[in-house]
Structure 1
Amino acid sequence: MLLWINGPFGGGKTQTAHEIQRRLPGSVVCDPELLGFGLHRMMPPELRGDFQDLPAWRQGVYEVLDLALTKHDGVVIVPMTVTDPTYFAETVVRLRERGHDVRHFSLLADPETVLRRLRERGIGRLLQRVGGKDAPLRRESFAVRRLDDCLARLREPEFAEHLWTDDTTVAKTADRIAVLAGLTLTPNRDGLLRGRLRRTWTSLRHIRFD
């Protein structure tokens, strides 16, 4: 089974994916962003746009996930924003047509909630202290510019299942996905402090400097 966790940048995809992986023995997280950054590193900086526009990225995501789903016994978890219907068809829909059990979820929230989460990122707070209150963060700025369009597209029926996350926690979102997918997670025994430290560590591990 593949769990594709969609949503805007700052919507909680990575945190939710790793929460599920932590509590679902045998599962793995496969992050298509890594392929995109690898393709960027092969290109002159001035040619680096949105890596999703590269056919090589979409084909590569399909091939790697097809291999993982064919050869790996456990659940494969993919945290990745995809809002273009054509690109969605070339990845998620194509994997379904291949015969794989693909469960897709869009994590949605009000724009104000997503903006607050972006501001609360640990690296964001650090850079703001160094550069000033309004220090530009390139990826966050890109995410903010596309936020309204991203949320509007993900509300479309083809991007269901829709999960609203404004008033819930990462652990509870993981629980909801597991129930909808027919999976059983181990109990979440994290307290408030331990959960916060775990999420901070996950964020730090996934800081991208590309």
Structure 2
Amino acid sequence: MIIWINGGFGAGKTTLAEELHRRLPDAVVYNPEDVGIMLWKWMRPNDDFQDLPSWRELVVATALSLRRHHAETLIVPMSLIRDAYRAEILGGLAHAGEEVLQVFLEADAGVLRERVDARVGIPANPGANQSAREWALSRVDAAVAAATRQPAGTLLLRSDRLTPAELADEVLAAAGLSQAHGDGKRMR
């Protein structure tokens, strides 16, 4: 199974992925951002590597290869806010026969902004940190709006109301890997 953790910057995707990995130590955590960074080594960076068709294609191919050769469970923390990109990537995985649990972490815009502002960056490069922070903040409203456009079957969880442990309980229950408890879950 592939557990794809979607949501805005600051929603808690990485924290949830870490908690799931702690509970599923044989799973592989795959961050597609690394594919974008790799592509930018070979070509001029643009505003968003998700706009590169090569990125979307390689994200699917890498996930399939990791699942086939290295992991029964793949945990993928990656924002896919644009509907077309989400459909292309997650649809490509499903078309290849992968079982994909789509999780979308919702949070109020103010909470997302506070979390992004609180991030500790690279001390040696404050200029890059500020640029990355501004870029993430500019996408908060789009991420909040994206929660209302998730496809049927998406597990929507409020990361501003549940702890990382409670979120993991909900995800594992939805994946059929554990008994869940707590509230804040709804399936779309």
TM range (shorter): 0.7 to 0.9
Corresponding residue of 1:175: 169
Q: Which has more helix, going by share of residues?
A: 1
Corresponding residue of 1:72: 70
Q: Is the counterpart of residue 61 in structure 1 residue 59 in structure 2? A: yes
**Aligned counterparts, 1:40-189, within 5 A:** 40-44=40-44, 47-123=45-121, 137-158=130-151, 160-184=154-178
Range with bigger deviation, 84-93 or 155-164: 155-164
Question: Does the CA contact (< 8 Å) of 1:62 and 1:90 recur in 2?
Answer: no
> Offset at 1:91?
0.8
Q: Deviations over 1:99-156 (max 9, x none)?
A: 11100000000011111212222338x69xx89xxx9711221111111112102321
Question: What is the DSSP-based 3-state SS (H/G/I as helix, E as strand, rest coil) of the residue aligned with 1:116?
Answer: helix
Runs of 4+ in 1 over 4 A off after TM superposition: none
Q: Deviations over 1:185-206 (max 9, x none)?
A: 9xxxxxxxxxxxxxxxxxxxxx
The code of the aligned residue for 2:177 comes to L
Counterparts of 1:118 and 1:49, CA distance in 2: 18
Question: Does the CA contact (< 8 Å) of 2:29 and 2:75 recur in 1?
Answer: yes
> Highest CA radius of gyration, 1 or 2?
1
Counterparts of 2:120 and 2:165, CA distance in 1: 19
The code of the aligned residue for 2:144 comes to L
> Offset at 1:167?
1.9
Identity over aligned residues, as a percent?
A: 36
Counterparts of 1:173 and 1:111, CA distance in 2: 19
**Aligned counterparts, 1:21-40, within 5 A:** 21-40=21-40
Corresponding residue of 1:16: 16
The code of the aligned residue for 1:40 comes to W
Question: Does the CA contact (< 8 Å) of 2:19 and 2:165 recur in 1?
Answer: yes
Question: Does the CA contact (< 8 Å) of 2:8 and 2:81 recur in 1?
Answer: no
Structure 1 gap ranges (5+): 186-210
Structure 2 gap ranges (5+): 180-188
Question: Does the CA contact (< 8 Å) of 2:59 and 2:89 recur in 1?
Answer: yes
Question: Does the CA contact (< 8 Å) of 1:30 and 1:76 recur in 2?
Answer: yes
Counterparts of 1:182 and 1:152, CA distance in 2: 29
Question: Does the CA contact (< 8 Å) of 2:27 and 2:73 recur in 1?
Answer: yes
Question: What is the DSSP-based 3-state SS (H/G/I as helix, E as strand, rest coil) of the residue aligned with 2:139?
Answer: helix
